[in-house]
Amino acid sequence: MLKKFIQTHLFFWNGSSSSKTIGGAALLIAVAGIASRFLGFLRDRILASQFGAGDTLDAYYTAFRIPDFIYGLLVLGALGAAFTPIFTSLLVEKKKEEAWKLVSGLLHSMLFSVGILSILGIIFAPWLIDLLAPGFGAGKQETVVMLTRVMFLSPLLLAVSAVFGGVLVSFKQFVAYSLAPIFYNIGIICGVLFFVPIIGLSGLAWGVVLGAFLHMFVQYPSLRRLGFHYQPYFLNAWKDENVRRVVKLMIPRSLSMGVSQVSLLVVTVFASTLASGSLAVFTLANNIQSVPLGLFGVAFALAVFPAFSLSVAEKREKYFFVILSQTARRILFFVLPVSIFMIIFRAQFVRVILGVGHFDWEDTILTFEVLKFLAISLFAQSLIPLFSRAFFALQNTKTPLYISLVSEAVNIILILTLLPRYAVLGLAIAFSTSSILNLILLYASLRKKISFWDDRKFLAPAINIFFIALAAGAIAQVSKSIFALTTNELDTFVEVFLQLVTGLAIGGAAFVLLCHWFQVEELQMVKRFLLCKVLRQPETIAVTEDHPERGDW
């Protein structure tokens, strides 16, 4: 019986497990995301304890920027957004041979384009870093150059991995796809713990390369089981009509992702002019607040994307709107209370995750203040991937690009205005403000693209969840104060951890009870999912996730 439960619910990595519903796929991605984020916390804790928020971590995070920019410009999001709809349409049209040919053609195209840029990056690294981090001293810049040159190997591996992942998502094979980030973090941790003691600081960069290789390698067996066979036709890849279609769709999306990456470059440029450790503080705070973004925002957006693409291919516009609104409400159901709890317990989060070794109290204070401002826009950050993919499924990649450009322009203006007075906090305030603006513009634009639209289905439930989350947050705040009064000092890890866990448990319970009291539909969805999909009880609800348009709305 135990064996059957494990096989049913933990999705053994046998290459044949697929998720048939959006909720099931999102759960699978989220569970793997939890493991990956836990390793991410462990990674950040090890880095913070080893080096503190100082020159070394500033150099390490700066070295990520240009390789990540190349990966984000050509691969991240752009490939999946352009590839999945076309690959899915080929499968629907029973053109499987053409679909696999498309995969091989994209592999050639990605390796060629990313490879050229990586080689140029390695050659011109000193000049690039001088532009990227003008505030760093000569010695610090040399460290960044050394780390950057090694890290330029990672975009090649991640580009191949992205093609693999696009195929797996199209087939709704989320197991290996979800495991890839876990292995990426394992590689980085190995770099810190094992490579650095042997070869010095360059071991940090080699750990990133190892993580990128594992990210690619873990997906390959599932790809082979689906029927992929490499077709070496490099010279003819650009002549393939489907490859050209993907590239054409990728260009606006790549530029849009480039704008997003430019935001990080801008942060790096300005942070380099601030006190030592400012970039490390911003990055570590951003890593903490990005956890619910990855677990819920990205997970649901990835899971729903094939359904978006299919509804567009089948010209079912009402279904498109229904799954969009349902998914948006589900994301907010999880993200809104988490963001409020994160603001309330920001000091506890930072102390528990990072407060060890060379990461002192001054680093802690600055990090949790940055975390506060970043978490304010967490709801917007979590919905942006969903709304962007809605545009991508419509094969419209230009509108998100234009919106990203406007949002980034506002971000830069705000940074220039706020930085002199607020230093690194100004970076966080500008980031959050531009993220909220990005979401507003995406919502308004998508509203004009879809004929079947009902604002009430979006706004009324969201406002309801927001006020319930505020009430739960107030209860959590009271519990935090009572815990502090009953404990003389909160100096040890155990005491801070208990305060955090107790407050989150009380706040979470309050949120669930209030949602039950006010009959929040998303809570009923979670209950149905747990009963029917996890506990395998007979399904008595007529409305299924696969056919929401048959429901009461």
Enumerate the H helices of 295-423 as residue ranges.
299-313, 317-344, 346-354, 361-376, 378-393, 398-422
> Identity (one letter) of the amino acid at 388?
S
> Identity (one letter) of the amino acid at 177?
Y
The per-residue pLDDT for range 342-361, each reduced to its tens digit, is 999 999 999 999 987 788 88
Is the model's pTM score more than 0.75? yes
pLDDT at 165: 86
Phi-psi region at 510: left, alpha or beta (left = phi > 0; alpha = psi -120 to 50) = alpha
Q: How far apart are CA 415 and CA 62, in angstroms?
A: 18
Three-state secondary structure call for residue 543: coil
pLDDT at 71: 83
pLDDT at 36: 83
Q: Is the dihedral of CA 117, 119, 124, 126 positive or negative?
A: positive
Chain centroid offset of residue 459 CA: 24
CA-closest candidate to residue 352, choices 499, 478, 530: 499
First to last CA, the chain: 39
- Across the range 320-327, mean pLDDT stands at 86
Q: How far apart are CA 264 and CA 402, in angstroms?
A: 18
Chain centroid offset of residue 129 CA: 26
pLDDT band at 544 (very low <50, low <70, confident <90, very high): very low
Angle at the Cα of 395 from the Cα atoms of 389 and 396, rounded to 5 degrees: 80
pLDDT band at 548 (very low <50, low <70, confident <90, very high): very low
pLDDT band at 201 (very low <50, low <70, confident <90, very high): very high
